[in-house]
Amino acid sequence: MVTVGMLHSRKHPSKVDKAFAWAAVAKMEGVDFYYFSPQGVNFKTNVISGYVYEQGEWIERDMMFPDVIYNACGMKTDEDIEVYTKLSKIVPFTSHSVGNKMSVFRRISKMPEFVDYLIPSIQIHHPEDVLDAMKKYKKVIMKPVSGSQGRGIWFIELDGERFHTIVGTEQTTQNREQLLSSIQDLLREQAYLVQPYISCRTKDGEGKWMISIIYPRIGTMDRVTSNISRGGSMGTFRSFLEREFGDERRNMRRTLEKFAERFTNEFESTFDIEFDELGIDIGVDENNKLWIFEVNWRPGNEELAFNIAKNLVPYAVYVASQHKST
């Protein structure tokens, strides 16, 4: 029997919704499963102090290294990163990074079928790069190259000699010098890119190679982005299509499903590794044109934990079997 371990930065699985989903699906699939964090790993004995779900509760138990690891999240401390890296060289991991936003942009730009779906993206080297972009696009979005969940995103609009900015729910108006100074402060902290602002009905498609899970993310009125972690909400796909597309809802559904399937296969083929899951943030503008906002290697939607686990537990078993055969 294959043993799957879920590696997470949080020590106890009760704080991680998908841990229970994985435990339940693993039991139904006849797979041994346990949860653990970096603090529980002992490389001298090859034993991990983890948690198994039995009789309605999580029970701590010492386990041997698993056959495969679902690396559920990134590590934050140097100590945890060291354990993560060392463990990845001993046990196969299911998840792999797609890279940051600019490397993903460059990769997709070499995919002929999908280059027209890309939003132009320019890495900001100097604050004036943003002003150059605004001369062309008037409204732009600034976002961290390595950011996630809608954090650190700036919306900027030119109005005469003034610049209107929105960051989260905070709105300000700045002159040219103030804006350049603000951008310079941001660049000292991390790398940013600038894109034209595209007004979209935004939905998120998690392209599965066997089945597509597609759901709309609906932003609040006072936010530019629709990330659930930043105050947006998740709607049902059917009701969203009916409300936004009316008689065209069936065609739009087929378009999104086929796009997700084609894109994930083509995108994965540009790597020399296989992915367990990919999340594609797709926008649909007023002309029903699709735009690729970004691609994530850990979509991480807790509300769909069981649906995702039903796909990923069997995939983890597949990864383990592939590793044993090499």
Query: Each residue of 123-170: pLDDT tens digit?
Result: 999 999 999 999 998 899 999 998 665 678 899 998 888 999 998 878
Number of Cβ within 10 Å of residue 204's Cβ equals 24
Enter the tokens of residue 150.
């809608």
Within 8 A by CB and 6+ apart from 208, the residues are 260, 264, 277, 311
User: Does the pLDDT at position 226 exceed 50?
Assistant: no
Task: Determine the Cα–Cα distance for residues 105 and 268; give it in Å rounded to an integer.
Answer: 14
Per-residue model confidence as pLDDT tens digits over 21-50: 999 999 999 999 999 999 999 999 999 999
Which range, 55-59, 203-207, 294-298, has the best average confidence (pLDDT)?
A: 55-59
User: Does the pLDDT at position 172 exceed 50?
Assistant: yes
Would the CA dihedral through 131, 133, 134, 135 be positive or negative? positive
145: helix, coil or strand?
coil
Q: Where are the domains of the chain?
A: 3-95+306-325, 101-119+199-297, 122-196
What secondary structure letter does DSSP report for 272?
Answer: S
| Per-residue confidence (pLDDT) for residue 276, from 0 to 100 | 86
Q: What is the CATH class of 3-95+306-325?
A: alpha beta
Within 8 A by CB and 6+ apart from 72, the residues are 6, 7, 8, 16, 18, 95, 298
CATH 3.30.470.20 for the 101-119+199-297 domain, yes or no: yes
Q: Let me know if the fold of 3-95+306-325 is the same as that of 101-119+199-297.
A: no
| Per-residue confidence (pLDDT) for residue 53, from 0 to 100 | 97
Per-residue model confidence as pLDDT tens digits over 241-290: 888 788 888 898 889 889 988 999 999 999 998 888 888 888 888 788 89
Would the CA dihedral through 83, 89, 91, 96 be positive or negative? positive
Task: Determine the Cα–Cα distance for residues 293 and 314; give it in Å rounded to an integer.
Answer: 29
Average pLDDT over residues 97-104: 91
* HSE-up (13 A, CA, CB side) for residue 116: 5
* 147 and 137 Cβ atoms separated by less than 8 Å: no
Average pLDDT over the chain reads 85
Task: Please state the pTM of the whole predicted model.
Answer: 0.76
